[in-house]
């Protein structure tokens, strides 16, 4: 395999996948690169895995090629796992990273550092025409900061401090993030499926 389609319209995810795939000589393309407009797939699942499968199967059966999808988000223990599968639309339907961060910070106001544990979760699904879909989960544990730090990455990265680090995810380089991220961890689990399944 020398090229893979990621069924996403999130450029931040695409950049993460490029860092993970390009060293293996695999070119990454996304729904943003296609000439045809692909309408949004409704994420009606209750879990990251269900949503990832919905996305990879829909696009793979439409285009009749192998497809990888990613459904991911942030689980905050003090908020009973919110925003979870609603991470992209936590502050409203129109997907606004800054408004989502503001909502998390406001909901965690007054909660001290040792009660701010959280994790990023990523489900990656691989669908190939005529074959069963495979799905795997990756995690990255950490805590939620009280203010934004750093400019790299996307989404909630500026307020997420990975376990064992003294900076936010947005202060790590793309390579450093790939080495510890939920996305990197999920992808490392499925690496050997790419050619075999
Ligand atoms: O469905 P696609 O088109 O892939 O793009 P999306 O942005 O809607 O993606 P999701 O439905 O999987 O929602 C995931 C949200 O979780 C957050 N998120 C996921 N991975 C992240 C990461 O590595 N760093 C920061 N935030 C992340 C971010 O807000 C995403 O918008
Ligand atoms: Mg989405």
Neighbours of 12 (CB within 10 A): 14
Predicted TM-score (pTM) of this structure: 0.97
| Mutational pocket test of ligand 1: of 6, 10, 95, the residue with most ligand atoms within 8 Å of the beta carbon | 10
Residue for token pair 């339907």: 93
Q: Say yes or no to pLDDT of 195 above 80.
A: no
* CA–CA gap between residue 101 and residue 66 (Å, rounded): 34
Strands 134-144 and 160-162: antiparallel
Of 2.40.30.10, 3.40.630.10, 3.90.950.10, 2.30.30.40, the CATH number of 3-196 is 3.90.950.10
Cα(113) to centroid(ligand 1), Å: 24
Q: What are phi and psi of 67, to 5 degrees?
A: -140, 140
R_g of the chain, CA atoms, integer Å: 17
Would you kindly state where each structural domain of the chain is located, as residue ranges?
3-196
71: annotated active-site residue: yes
List, for residues 65-118, the tens digit of each pLDDT value: 999 999 999 999 999 999 999 999 999 978 899 999 999 999 999 999 999 999
Q: Looking at ligand 1, which residue's alpha carbon is closest to its atom 8?
A: 88
Confirm or reject: Cβ of 181 under 6 Å from ligand 1. yes
Answer yes or no: are the C-beta atoms of 21 and 28 closer than 8 Å. Answer: yes
Of these residues, 71, 80, 102, 195, which one is catalytic? 71
What pLDDT band is residue 189 in, cutting at 50, 70 and 90?
Answer: very high
Confirm or reject: Cβ of 82 under 6 Å from ligand 1. no
In this predicted complex, what is the ipTM? 0.98
Answer yes or no: are the C-beta atoms of 144 and 118 closer than 8 Å. Answer: yes
Closest ligand 1 atom to the C-alpha of 95? 31
Tokens standing for 135? 């799905």
């Amino acid at each position: 395999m020398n090229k893979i389609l990621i069924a996403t319209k999130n450029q931040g995810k695409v950049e993460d996948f490029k860092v993970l795939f390009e060293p293996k000589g695999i070119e990454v393309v996304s729904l943003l690169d296609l000439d045809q407009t692909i309408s949004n797939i409704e994420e009606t699942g209750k879990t990251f895995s269900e949503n990832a499968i919905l996305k990879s199967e829909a696009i793979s059966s439409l285009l009749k090629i192998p497809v990888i999808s990613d459904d991911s988000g942030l689980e905050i223990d003090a908020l009973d796992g919110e925003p979870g599968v609603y991470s992209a639309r936590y502050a409203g339907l129109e997907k606004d990273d800054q408004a989502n961060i503001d909502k998390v910070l406001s909901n965690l106001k007054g909660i001290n550092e040792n009660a701010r544990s959280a994790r990023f979760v990523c489900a990656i699904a691989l669908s190939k025409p005529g074959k069963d879909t495979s799905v795997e989960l990756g995690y990255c544990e950490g805590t939620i900061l009280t203010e934004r730090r750093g400019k790299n990455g996307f989404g909630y990265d500026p307020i997420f401090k990975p376990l064992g680090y003294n900076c936010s995810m947005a202060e790590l380089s793309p390579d450093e993030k790939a080495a510890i991220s939920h996305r990197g961890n999920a992808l490392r689990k499925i690496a050997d499926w790419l050619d075999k399944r």
